[in-house]
Amino acid sequence: MASQPVVLVTGASKGIGFCIARILITRHGAAVVAFSRSRTVELEQLAREFPDTLTVVQGDVTSSQSISAAIKTAVDTYGHLDSMVLNAGTLGSIDRISSSNTSEWKDVFDINFFSLVELIQSALPSLRESKQKGKVIFVSSGAADRGYVGWGPYSASKAAMNSLCRTLANEEKEIISVSVRPGAVDTGMQATVRAEGINRMDPSELEKFNTLHSTGKLVKPEECGQVIAGLAVAAMPEMSGKYVSWDDETLRQFRE
Please tell me the predicted confidence (pLDDT) of residue 174: 96
Establish whether 154 is a catalytic residue.
yes
Burial 92-122 (b: 16+ CB within 10 A, else e): bbbbeeeebeeeebebbbbbbbebbebbbeb
Burial class (CB in 10 A: 0-12, 13-18, 19+), 24: buried
Task: Beginning with the edge strand found earlier in the chain, give each strand of the sheet holding 243-245 in spatial order.
Answer: 54-58, 31-36, 6-10, 83-86, 135-139, 176-181, 243-245
Establish whether 14 is a catalytic residue.
no
Q: How far apart are the first and last CA of the chain?
A: 26
Among candidate residues 122, 154, 177, 179, the one labeled active-site is 154
Nearest to 138 by CA among 170, 163, 161, 169: 161
Among candidate residues 93, 126, 148, 158, the one labeled active-site is 158
Look at the pTM and tell me if it is higher than 0.85: yes
CA angle (16 as vertex; 2, 121 as ends), nearest 5? 55
Please tell me the predicted confidence (pLDDT) of residue 3: 78
Establish whether 158 is a catalytic residue.
yes
Please tell me the predicted confidence (pLDDT) of residue 28: 97
**φ, ψ at 85 (rounded to 5°):** -110, 110
Q: Show the domains of the chain with their CATH numbers.
A: 6-183+220-254 (3.40.50.720)
Please tell me the predicted confidence (pLDDT) of residue 93: 95
Among candidate residues 66, 140, 157, 177, the one labeled active-site is 140
Please tell me the predicted confidence (pLDDT) of residue 180: 98
Local mean pLDDT, 10-residue blocks, the chain (256 residues): 85 97 98 96 97 98 98 97 98 96 97 98 98 96 96 98 98 98 97 95 97 98 98 97 97 92
Please tell me the predicted confidence (pLDDT) of residue 1: 42
**φ, ψ at 204 (rounded to 5°):** -70, -35
